[in-house]
Structure 1
């Protein structure tokens, strides 16, 4: 396992992190005992970063993670969760309550990294005047250590990164083989500000694993298929042959501190662990990928709620 320093926090984190959505059954049934075994195997294999959220399985992901860490393993983990979520108010009181409930489900006295979940849902003013002050109060009280922000909209992450009140950013499906637009402005800005960077969904919500998420727009699936046809020079012979190059593409990017694996089974976890050997794509292949889709977002322009 490779490790790196998570921005200005000084935390040493594994470059591969365990994503909590599958642990809560978000993408299909997840046996509770199997989840606990997966978490223990991940820790035994050197993963020390786990990312979850209250909305993953309506709290089930947090509860299962908390249960798995009972017995002395909490101190082995940089534990990240999120505040509020879809359909909730991002006001001060709701944010405090959200984190308090997460602490209960996770059975811990502190959360290492608390991120504001999907900030595009509300206005910039609400985030800076309500949500963020609530997290800063929780940090003063010792209930959280660091504060992050998450969204798929890169321009929003850039805006929040510039105010120097966040320790981390998290995006998803924006630094992957068929959409690497995060590298153009966001990653250099995060490096300049010494902000920790978490990359989620490096398989593009299942697109690069040939199993697109059912909620994806058909137009996006079609465009992704066209782009994937141009990546035959990377595809391995085994089923889902773009998974390995996709994982290596992210794991070898020095500006990304944690690449999340949303493993639904221990077999997938083990496969992804095998890519943590320090070898990325060949430089020539990486440059070819960059040239193919330079500046080309896979996703259509999205309305940015936070103005």
Structure 2
């Protein structure tokens, strides 16, 4: 599969490249990215034919949006698809008074969760300014999941998003300021609950449909197919382990992987090695075989890793690899696989 291949994005009328560019890493995720490196990797993505770029106010507390907007200014606006997210507003704080588990060397803005109509409208307008754009193509409600808020607070945020924030996104869609609206989070169950309540076009699902996890096949992905709803797939390496393999200290869903996960990844990797296929290539290509999944957006902070991901998503994989993974119970029988 070509990373630059255009694929239909559900009922939205948009087309996204099979591989998009996820910009969390250039928001200084876990370590600082020099400005010249951020510009180089975005330019490299463009030169490789990638035309879908995803960002969010959360990523570097505004830094990712600033960097992406500055770099994309060099290219025609109608030639790419841009998505960002609502649900977090940024408030200025004194310099040096801010710490974060995820972000380093970030602008002096703290995050305030707000999934109300007014909060989503304000977040959208602020993102337009940081990006330097008059419109966004895809707008997601960000992180209304248990992982982000805990079980009790999640219920409150979900209800506010469905009853109030939804109205803001629907208004923006009806006015043509965005072309597609959806939810982006870490749990397919939350995405499914949102789809059963409201008329969303799309979802950004992070880490919950991968070579390691296919429970979304039970009900969520079939519902997406039924309603012509498309998925942007993030976190396809399960936050690291499907890229590094089962090494000591490998990360699975933002924490150190336990023995059971390490053992399962070891079995998957052994099958890949038997067919002379990199584990990362199998992980990147597997998810794109599902008809509801339009694009895969592995995040990267360097042009070297970007080029590697592009080569991996285009790496030839024999059909026998998928047959063997199924035989060993490592891929579900009803999981679509690349042909």
Alignment-derived partner of residue 233 in structure 1:
271
Contact 2:241 2:252 in 1 (8 A): no
Greater mean deviation of Cα atoms: 26-35 or 188-197: 26-35
Alignment-derived partner of residue 311 in structure 2:
274
Provide the C-alpha distance between the structure 1 equivalents of 2:291 and 2:324, rounded to a whole number of angstroms.
Answer: 15
Contact 2:65 2:127 in 1 (8 A): yes
Shift of 1:267: 1.1
Alignment-derived partner of residue 264 in structure 1:
301
- Runs of 4+ in structure 1 over 4 Å off: 278-281
Alignment-derived partner of residue 177 in structure 2:
143
Q: How does 1:124-273 map to 2 (within 5 A)?
A: 124-210=158-244, 212-213=250-251, 216-218=254-256, 220-231=257-268, 232-235=270-273, 241-273=278-310
Alignment-derived partner of residue 44 in structure 2:
41
Provide the C-alpha distance between the structure 2 equivalents of 1:10 and 1:276, rounded to a whole number of angstroms.
Answer: 25
- Return 5+ residue gaps in structure 1 as ranges: 296-307
Provide the C-alpha distance between the structure 2 equivalents of 1:241 and 1:278, rounded to a whole number of angstroms.
Answer: 9
Shift of 1:73: 3.3
Provide the C-alpha distance between the structure 1 equivalents of 2:220 and 2:320, rounded to a whole number of angstroms.
Answer: 21
Alignment-derived partner of residue 92 in structure 1:
117
Question: Among 60, 65, 70, which residue is 2:68 paired with?
Answer: 65
- TM-score w.r.t. length of structure 2: 0.79
Provide the C-alpha distance between the structure 2 equivalents of 1:286 and 1:7, rounded to a whole number of angstroms.
Answer: 29
Q: Secondary structure at the match of 2:293?
A: coil
Greater mean deviation of Cα atoms: 94-103 or 139-148: 139-148
- Deviations for 1:248-267, whole angstroms, at most 9, x for unmatched residues? 21233333101111112111
Question: Among 83, 108, 116, which residue is 2:133 paired with?
Answer: 108
- Cα distance 1:93–1:264, how it changes in 2: closer, same or farther (>3 A)? same
Contact 1:138 1:144 in 2 (8 A): yes
Contact 2:141 2:184 in 1 (8 A): yes
Shift of 1:286: 5.3
- TM-score w.r.t. length of structure 1: 0.86
- Cα distance 1:253–1:224, how it changes in 2: closer, same or farther (>3 A)? same
- Cα distance 1:215–1:208, how it changes in 2: closer, same or farther (>3 A)? closer
Say if 2:48 is the partner of 1:9. no
Contact 1:14 1:258 in 2 (8 A): yes
**Cα RMSD, aligned residues only:** 2.6
- Cα distance 1:101–1:276, how it changes in 2: closer, same or farther (>3 A)? same
Alignment-derived partner of residue 291 in structure 1:
329
Shift of 1:170: 1.3
Q: Aligned residues, how many?
A: 293
